[in-house]
């Protein structure tokens, strides 16, 4: 039996329909084929999906997220053969990465064909593409005759969702359907990689580590733009942010600085002792980077919804997935 739920809430004297949550691929397909939005699960985070080749459908993504149109979107499909239908070429090193890590948390920035609307790429001549590693979404993609543009399914700049309920809390009144694929296994957005003048460049740190990439293609350059004119998705300086202010530093010192306030703390490891009055979320008491990545957005969200005035946190060691986690923390604090 298909799990489904439709809820109505009253807001400002109007009855608002909350998205239906279920596992019905056919229903998701019908909505997408009719220019509607559907939230889809991936191994990284939930995406807000629409027909990537239909500008009218894509415009609804920007409207629902309140996302500026200068911030490009990532296109999702189910096979390397499909990718080649909407890009003009794939650099040999990038092809090697695709063959090694797809499906998976890797986005390649590739020269686009005219079939890809400029709205998807914010007018840029390259498009971010990836094959997500989630069976439910791969099955959906294989049944569609178009790829899906799918940024994270959250209001622009806010914490990315890693469960169907996260999506429903944030965008449930704006979309008809959420395809429920359970909790995301990676919890960090994909790593974005491209090529310029023969050099392999990482534009966004994510669920695939620099070390894994360099093992396949050699030394890479890292260019985290953090400007109002990004080359790739997820490069804006303030992003993935809770509503509560986030402060990064030594959490013991930060606790003293913010004494008298209700404090939420995001920590890593079991060797940090904080006051009993501080609300603590431990990304991984055993200092496991993968566990920390999975917990990051959920714990930020829980602290944001808790009775705290500020959120304090310390950066992780700058290695492996710690680099991507720290990148998200800095953007949450807009540092």
- Position 334 scores a pLDDT of 75
Shared domain for 30 and 164, answered yes or no, is yes
Question: Does some domain include residue 302?
Answer: yes
- Note whether 178 and 250 are same-domain residues: no
Which of 171, 191, 211 terminates a domain? The answer is 191
Residue 234: inside a domain: no
Domain-embedded: residue 25? yes
How far is it, in rounded angstroms, from Cα 89 to Cα 112?
8
In a domain, 152, yes or no: yes
SS3 content of the chain, % helix, strand, coil (to 5): 30, 20, 50
269 Cβ neighbours under 8 A, 6+ residues apart? 282, 284, 285, 286, 287
Helix (H) or strand (E) run with residue 49 in it: strand 47-51
Residue 61's CATH number: 3.90.870.10
Task: Count structural domains, the chain.
Answer: 2
Q: How confident is the model at residue 7 (pLDDT cuts 50, 70, 90)?
A: very low
Q: What is the structure's pLDDT at 270?
A: 86
Residue 308 resides in a domain: yes
Q: How far is it, in rounded angstroms, from Cα 131 to Cα 138? A: 8
236 within a domain of the structure (yes/no):
no
**What mean pLDDT is predicted for residues 242-267?**
95
Describe the crossing of helices 289-305 and 164-171 by its angle, rounded to 10 degrees: 30
Residue 161 counted as domain residue: yes
Q: Do both 120 and 269 map to the same domain?
A: no
What is the pLDDT of the chain when averaged over all its residues?
90
Alpha helix (H) residue ranges in the chain: 25-33, 55-65, 80-83, 92-101, 118-121, 135-143, 164-171, 210-217, 251-257, 289-305, 321-332
CATH number, domain of 292, equals: 3.40.50.11030
Structure tokens at 250: 């030594």
Task: Confirm whether 197 is domain-assigned.
Answer: no
Same domain assignment for residues 136 and 257: no
Percent of the chain scoring above 90 in pLDDT: 80
Question: End of a domain among 168, 191, 214?
Answer: 191
């Amino acid at each position: 039996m298909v799990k489904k739920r439709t809820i109505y809430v009253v807001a400002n004297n109007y009855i608002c329909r909350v998205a239906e949550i279920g596992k019905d691929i056919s229903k998701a397909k019908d909505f997408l084929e009719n220019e509607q939005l559907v939230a889809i699960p991936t191994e990284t985070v939930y995406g807000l999906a629409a027909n990537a080749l239909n500008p009218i459908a894509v415009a609804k993504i920007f409207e629902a997220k309140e996302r500026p149109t200068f911030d490009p979107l990532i296109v999702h499909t189910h096979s390397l053969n499909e990718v080649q239908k909407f890009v003009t070429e794939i650099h040999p090193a990038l092809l090697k990465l695709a063959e090694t890590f797809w499906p998976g948390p890797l986005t390649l920035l590739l020269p686009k064909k005219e079939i890809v609307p400029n709205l998807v790429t914010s007018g840029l001549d390259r498009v971010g593409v990836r094959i997500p590693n989630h069976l439910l979404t791969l099955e959906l993609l294989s049944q569609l005759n178009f790829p899906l543009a799918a940024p994270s399914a959250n209001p622009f700049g806010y914490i990315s969702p890693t469960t169907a309920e996260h999506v429903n809390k944030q965008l449930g009144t704006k979309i008809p359907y959420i395809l429920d694929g359970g909790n995301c296994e990676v919890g960090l957005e994909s790593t974005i990689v491209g090529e310029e003048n023969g050099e392999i460049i990482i534009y966004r740190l994510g669920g695939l580590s620099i070390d894994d990439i360099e093992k396949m293609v050699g030394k890479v350059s890292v260019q985290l733009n953090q400007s109002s004119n990004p080359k790739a998705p997820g490069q804006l300086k303030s992003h993935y942010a809770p509503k509560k202010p986030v402060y990064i530093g030594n959490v013991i010192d930060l606790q003293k600085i913010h004494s008298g306030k209700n404090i939420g703390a995001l920590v890593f490891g079991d060797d940090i002792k904080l006051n009993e009055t501080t609300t603590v979320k431990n990304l991984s008491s055993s200092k496991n980077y993968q566990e920390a990545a999975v917990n990051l957005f959920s714990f930020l969200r829980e602290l944001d919804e808790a009775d705290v005035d500020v959120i304090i946190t310390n950066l992780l060691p700058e290695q492996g997935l710690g680099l991507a986690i720290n990148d998200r923390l800095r953007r949450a604090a807009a540092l």
